[in-house]
Amino acid sequence: MRKRSNGMLLFIILIFGLIGSLIASNVYVVTILGTHLNSQTDLDDYAANINTQTTVLQAKRGYILDRNGNIIAQDNESYTLVAVVKDIRQSQKETAAYVVDQAKTAEMLAPILKAPVAYILDKLASAASAGKFQTLFGSYGNNLTLAQKKTIDALAMSGLVFQTTITRNYPLGPFASHLIGFSQFVTVTGENGEELEMIGKMGLELIYNESLLGTNGKQEITVDRNGYVLPGSKVIKVDAVNGNDVILTLDKSIQETLEATMKQSLAQFSADQAWGAVMEISTGKVLAWGQAPSFDPNNINITDYTNLGAQYAFEPGSTMKAFTYAAAIDAGVYNGSATFDSSSFRMGIKNGLPIRVKVNEAAVEVINNSNHKNWGIISYDTGFVYSSNVGIASLLTTSLPADTFKSYIEAFGFLKKVATDGLPETIGQMSFKYPIEKLTPGFGQGITVTMLQMMQAYSAIFSDGTMVKPYFIEQIRNAYTKEVLYQGSTTVAGSPIKATTAKKMQALMYKVVYDERATGKNYAIPEVNIIAKTGTAQVAINGTYSTGKTLFSVMLALPAENPQIMIYYAFQGNYTNRAHIDTAAVTQLIRKVALTYNLHKPTDTNVNPVLSQSVTSVTIPALVNHTTGYAMQKLLPLKTPILMIGSGTSVIAQYPSADTVTLSNQRVFLVCDTSQISMPDMIGWSRKDVQAFLTLTHFPGEISGEGNVVSQSIPVSSILSQESVIQVTLK
C-alpha cells in the first residue's frame, strides 16, 4: 500500500515537472526567440514597434432641403483608388496584399475607370520599378462613385484599396446662394487631437452650423511596425453621429424661376444687379429669395458676400408710397376724391414745417413727378395710381401730420431689424430733421430700407392689417429618427393698420395695374388678377444722387381678390424708360406662382373685384367663459362664419382671440367641449383655418399642398380621438 502511494506521488511529481518544463521552455522561446509555441505567432510584431492607430470616422453634415424635400446641400462621399505595388510584409505568410498580376489588373480596371489599359499598366509598372509602395491613377482614379467602388471590390483583386473623401455638394448649383452660403473642411482640435470638420462659412450654413454639424467617431486598432493589423488585436469603434437636417420654406420650382428671371433682367437691361423674393402673406414663409449675379457654392466663386435682400439698404422709391397712403387712410385724414394740383410742388417753410408756396413765391425746394409729368388737377386716388410725388407732398402738407407719418413708418417695422432666423441685417436710416426730410420719405427718398423690411411691412397691406415676419426655416430634424427638433412658425410682428385700411389699399393697388394710365398695367397677366405698386428711384452714391443709376422695382400680390402670395422684384442699373414696360421676366415669375398655387381669375369679373367684395372690418368680442347662446348673440350681427367645437354649453377657448380686428369673412372657432369632438367638413378651408382648428383642439395633423382644402382623411362627423391624425390636402 505504501509502495503504491509512493509510486502515485512520483507520477504526480513527474507530470508537474513536465508541465513546468513546457512552460519554462515556452517562456524561453517567447523571450529569446519572440515566438509563441502554441499559436506559432511571431510575437516580434507585438513586442516591437507596436502602435495604436486611431482613425477618425468622419460625421456627415446634415442635409439642407427645400419644403418639398429637394436637396439643396449634402455631404457626398467619393473614393480615390490606390494600388499597392510592393509587399512590405516580408515576414508574414498571409495572402499577398499587393498587385500581383499587373496586366490582368490593368485590363479589368480600364472599363470601370474609363481609362486606357496602357495608361493603367504604365502606372503600375513604373511605380513598381521605382520601388514605390503604391500609386494613384490621376483623374481616372479620383472622385469615384460608390457604384464604381463596389464594382472594383467585386473583382476581388489584390492590392486595390480606397481612400474616402467627403465633400459638401450643392446639386442645384447657384440656388439662393447668398442665403444658403457654403461650408468647408477646416482643421479643429477635438477629443482625438486634430481632425477635420465641415464648418459653415457663410449664410444659413454658418448660422445653423451647430445644428448641421455632426460628431465625428473614431476607430482604434493595433498595428505592427509596417502598419498592418495584428491578428486577434482588439478594435475599438465609436460610430460617427451625423448632423441634423434643416428644411427650408423655399420652393425649388419657384426659386429656380426667380433665378432665371433675374438673369434675364440683367441681360435685357444691362443691369448691375437684381434681387427679389416670393412669400406667403398669411404665414411669412419665404418661397424664393435670391439675387444676381450669384455664385456656385460648389466652386465658391464669390465676388460679393452681401446678401442683398437683408444687408443692402436702398432708397425704395415709389413702392414706399403705399405706406404713406395707408397712414393717411388709417389715421382717418384721407379723402380719395379730394383733388390737388399735380404740377411742380414748390416747397416753402412755415413754423419749421414744409408748406406749398405759390408760383410767384420763393421756394426752398421743388418736388417734381417722375419725368416732370403734370396731369393737372387730379384726385388723390388718381395720384396714387399715377405714382405722383407731388400728390405725396400735398398729402403730407395738408392732411397727414409729419409726426403721425413718422409713427406709422416705425409701426411698419422700418428703421429696425426684422430679426428672423439669425440673418445678418442692415437696419436702414431716415433723417427727419429738416423740412424737406419730412416729405421725401413719403415717396421713397431720404429713407433706406431692405427687401426683408419691405416684405414684412407689405404683409400688413396685403392681409387684414396683420404684419408677419418673413422666415426661412421650416424645421430642423434629427437625421436618423426624423424627430422635429425645431418647428418654424408664423410670428406676428404687429398690426400697424386696420383691416379696413388694408382693404382700401388693396383696391388702390388694383387700379395701379388695371387703370388705363396706371404705372403697373404691363405686369397684368390673363390667368389671375394682381395688385401692385411700381417704383423708380435714383440711386444715392456717396450721398449724391447718381445721374444715371436707377432702381426699378415692383411689389405685387396675387390673387387680387384674396392676396395669398407677394412678390418683390428689383434691379439696378442705367436708366431706361422700358423697365416697367418690358416686363416679361416678372410676368413669367407671376405665372409660375399662380400655377404652383393653382390661383385663377374669378369667372365673375367686376370693375374692381377688390372693392366689390362685401367684406367689412369686425372686432371679435371676448367669449371665453360665456354661454354659447351669448356667443351666438354677439357673433351673428358680425356675419362671420362660426364653427362650434364640442357639444358643451360654455365657451372654453376661442379663435381669433378677444379684441382681434379682422375681416368679416374670417372663420371664428369656439371650443365648447374637449371630451367629444367630431370631425368638421374642412373642404374649402384655408391653411390658416386648418391650423387654427388643430391648435385649439391639440389633434395631430398633416397639411400638404397650398390653397384651400380639397380632401380630408377623416370623414365628416367622425368622433376624433388623440390617436387621430387629421390629414388634409390643399389645392
- What is the architecture, at CATH level 2, of domain 616-730? 2-Layer Sandwich (3.30)
Q: All 3 cell numbers of residue 692?
A: 387654427
Closest CA to 553 of 472, 450, 438: 450
Q: Is the pLDDT of residue 71 over 90?
A: yes
pLDDT of residue 225: 56
Tens digit of each residue's pLDDT (9 = 90 or more) over 671-695? 998 888 989 989 888 888 888 898 8
- Is the pTM for the entire model greater than 0.85? no
Angstrom distances, CA of residue 166 to CA of 58, 60, 109: 8, 8, 23
Instruction: Please give the residue that has the higher pLDDT: either 320 or 197.
Output: 320
Do 113 and 81 form a contact (C-beta atoms < 8 A)? yes
Tens digit of each residue's pLDDT (9 = 90 or more) over 330-380? 999 999 999 999 999 999 999 999 999 998 899 999 999 998 999 999 999
Q: Is the pLDDT of residue 522 over 90?
A: yes
State the first-to-last Cα distance of the chain, in angstroms, to the nearest integer. Answer: 106
Tens digit of each residue's pLDDT (9 = 90 or more) over 267-303? 999 999 999 999 999 999 999 999 999 999 998 889 8
Q: Is the pLDDT of residue 552 over 80?
A: yes
Q: Is the dihedral of CA 718, 720, 725, 728 positive or negative?
A: positive
- Gap between the Cα atoms of 514 and 491, Å rounded: 33
Give the confidence band of 94 by pLDDT, cuts at 50, 70, 90.
very low
Average pLDDT score over the chain:
87
Instruction: Please give the residue that has the higher pLDDT: either 585 or 548.
Output: 585
Closest CA to 87 of 95, 75, 76: 95
Cis peptide leading into residue 656 (ω within 30°): yes
pLDDT of residue 48: 46
Residues spanned by CATH 3.30.10.20 within the chain?
616-730
pLDDT of residue 195: 63
Give the confidence band of 19 by pLDDT, cuts at 50, 70, 90.
low
pLDDT of residue 39: 45
For the chain, percent of residues with pLDDT exceeding 90: 60
Q: For 584-606, what is the mean pLDDT? A: 87
pLDDT of residue 17: 63
pLDDT of residue 235: 79
pLDDT of residue 615: 57
pLDDT of residue 648: 85
Q: Clarify whether 387 is annotated catalytic.
A: no
Q: Is the pLDDT of residue 32 over 60?
A: no
pLDDT of residue 105: 94
Map residue 125 onto helix, strand or coil. helix
**Window from 184-193, 194-203, 628-637 with minimum mean pLDDT:** 184-193
pLDDT of residue 2: 52
Give the confidence band of 197 by pLDDT, cuts at 50, 70, 90.
confident
Residues spanned by CATH 3.90.1310.10 within the chain?
53-247
Most confidently modeled of 74-83, 160-169, 445-454, 666-675?
Answer: 445-454
Q: For 440-468, what is the mean pLDDT? A: 97
Q: Is the pLDDT of residue 52 over 70?
A: no
Give me the CATH code for the 256-596 domain, please: 3.40.710.10
Q: Considering the candidates 78, 177, 282, 318, report the single residue annotated as catalytic.
A: 318
Q: Is the pLDDT of residue 7 over 70?
A: no
For the chain, percent of residues with pLDDT exceeding 70: 86
Q: List phi, psi (to 5°) of 708.
A: -120, 160
Residues spanned by CATH 3.40.710.10 within the chain?
256-596
pLDDT of residue 220: 79
Q: How many CA atoms lie less than 13 Å away from 689 in the CB half-sphere?
A: 21
What CATH superfamily classification does 53-247 receive? Answer: Penicillin-binding protein 2a (Domain 2) (3.90.1310.10)
Q: Is the pLDDT of residue 93 over 50?
A: no
pLDDT of residue 30: 45
pLDDT of residue 301: 84
- 96 DSSP 8-state letter: P
pLDDT of residue 159: 86
